[in-house]
Amino acid sequence: MTFSAVIVAAGASSRAGPGAPKPWRSLGGRPILSWSIDALADAGATEIVVVAAADRLAEATRLLDGTPNARAIAGGATRALSVQAGLSALMASDQTAVLIHDAARPFVNRPHVEALLDALAAADGAVPALPVADTLKRGTGTIEATVSREGLWRAQTPQAFRLATLREAYASWPVDAEPTDDAAVVERAGGRVMMTPGDPILMKLTYPEDFAMAERLAATSRITRIGQGVDAHRWGPGEAVWLCGVKIDHDQTLIGHSDADAGLHALTDALLGAIGEGDIGEHFPPSDPRWKGAASDRFLIHAVELVAARGGRILNADVTLICERPKIRPHRDAMRQRLADLLNLPLDRVSVKATTTEGMGFTGREEGLLAQAVVLVDTPA
């Protein structure tokens, strides 16, 4: 089931202690908000709306750079108003599933999302929930009563609904009341909300001490992988050459079973290597006639999809082209933009460089061209 997502990040974080509001604090070296953006995008969100405070819109927009169909909007004075603003900004159809998620819960992952979407197929809403394990007391300073925990659950986010269901439920919610979560709004409107298994890792960062625990979790939740790729092709008769997805007029072409784009081939191998998925020849054998003359961007897109299927994120890419001719500098910006588009990365995370071997070796004798690529990927541990 496809889904859209609204990430609520407009709160003042008054209980979190001194410093910036929670979504903008650093966790594992990057803003807390970016964890939810990346996780929901990797889980398959077709549209993401981040609801931020007005003075944080530029920062939120920057974090969304490279995330397809994503945008930031200004929130309201309360969480409920921020959620409704996010719902209004969605372009999805009424029956599309929508996940409402608090940015202060950074460790959401694909299995959480899949469980919610499965439950939503037979309900009006779905909420991850954990049974209350601690003994509950009521009182202020001194205990007034011990409260039974039987049948009590701790609701978490993201929470899943159909877009029309949640919009209509909010339309009927009393204007002078503030719901504690979105499920309460649907419940009051008569909707049936299912519970899916909650997860302690979906902890909400609320108090100063929560951030130290989150840093320990962040250190173990994902790992960084480096991939390297190398490819070379021989020069032959022709009128143009493909390099890093860009066609360049030239008095020769590179010879290969596909379009012989050595830059894309090296980059594809680097991605496959980063996730331990062999090399380009295993996925697209040269002996297979389907790939004769094929555009090499198909190979790279396949590798990008494999990374995403692992829950991984491509962090940056660096390609070096080694040749005497053609001159790469006039085409470098176009190459970077094409690679950024294929990798779903901001332009400043993509580099294309060129060098010569000053007449030495097969590249110096202009017998062929060599490409090298390095990528950085992070994946769930």
Tell me the two tokens of residue 39.
């996780």
The whole-angstrom distance between residue 189's C-alpha and the CA centroid of its chain comes to: 33
Q: What is the pLDDT of residues 143-167, one digit of tens each?
A: 999 999 999 999 999 999 999 999 9
268, 304 contact by CB (below 8 A): no
Residue 97 has what pLDDT? 97
Q: What angle do CA 343, 7, 27 make, to 5 degrees?
A: 70
Q: What is the DSSP string of 210-249?
A: HHHHHHHHHHHHEEEEEEEEEEEEEEEE-SEEEETTEEEE
Range from 9-18, 194-203, 264-273 carrying the lowest mean pLDDT: 9-18
User: CB under 8 Å, gap of 24 or more: what pairs does 139-142 form?
Assistant: none
State the pLDDT at residue 322.
98
**Are 228 and 181 found together in one domain?**
no
> Average pLDDT of 245-250?
97
One domain for residues 86 and 186: yes
Q: Are 132 and 152 in contact (CB under 8 A)?
A: yes
Average pLDDT, the chain: 93
pLDDT at 318: 98
User: Do 156 and 250 belong together in one domain?
Assistant: no
Assigned domain for 211 exists = no
| Whole-angstrom distance, CA of residue 107 vs CA of residue 218 | 8
Output the domain CATH number for residue 170.
3.90.550.10
Number of domains in the chain: 2
Judge if 229 and 180 occupy the same domain.
Answer: no
- As to burial, measured by CB atoms within 10 angstroms (0-12 exposed, 13-18 middle, 19+ buried), residue 372 is buried
Q: Which range is least confidently modeled, 17-31, 164-178, 345-359?
A: 17-31
What's the pLDDT score for residue 13?
Answer: 56
Please check whether residue 295 is in contact with residue 247, taking contact to mean a CB–CB distance below 8 angstroms. no
The pLDDT of residue 379 is above 90: no
Lowest mean pLDDT among 56-65, 236-245, 284-293, 317-326: 284-293
**Which residues, 6 or more positions from 348, have their beta carbon under 8 angstroms from its beta carbon?**
none
43 shares a domain with 138? yes
Q: What is the CATH number of the domain that holds 259?
A: 3.30.1330.50
Which residue among 141, 174, 206 closes a domain? 206
- The pLDDT of 194-215, averaged and rounded, is 93
Q: Among residues 158, 176, 206, which one ends one of the domains?
A: 206
Q: pLDDT, tens digit, for every residue of 263-286?
A: 999 999 999 999 999 999 999 998
| Rounded CA separation 336/340 (Å) | 6
- Tell me which DSSP letter residue 136 carries: E
Considering the domain architecture, whether residues 153 and 12 belong to the same structural domain is answered as yes
Is 124 found in the same domain as 226?
no
Read off the pLDDT of residues 304-353 as tens digits, 9 standing for 90 and up: 999 988 878 899 999 999 999 999 999 999 999 999 999 999 999 999 99
* pLDDT surpassing 70 at residue 17: no
Q: Which domain holds residue 88?
A: 3-206
Across 10-14, 50-54, 179-183, least confident range? 10-14
Output the pTM of the full model. Answer: 0.68
Q: Which residues contact 237 (CB under 8 A, 6 or more apart)?
A: 252, 253
Yes or no: say if 9 and 37 are a contact pair by the CB < 8 Å rule: no
Is 133 in the same domain as 108? yes
* pLDDT value at residue 24: 92
Cβ pair 251, 237 in contact under 8 A: no
User: Interhelix angle for 32-42 vs 110-120, to 10°?
Assistant: 60
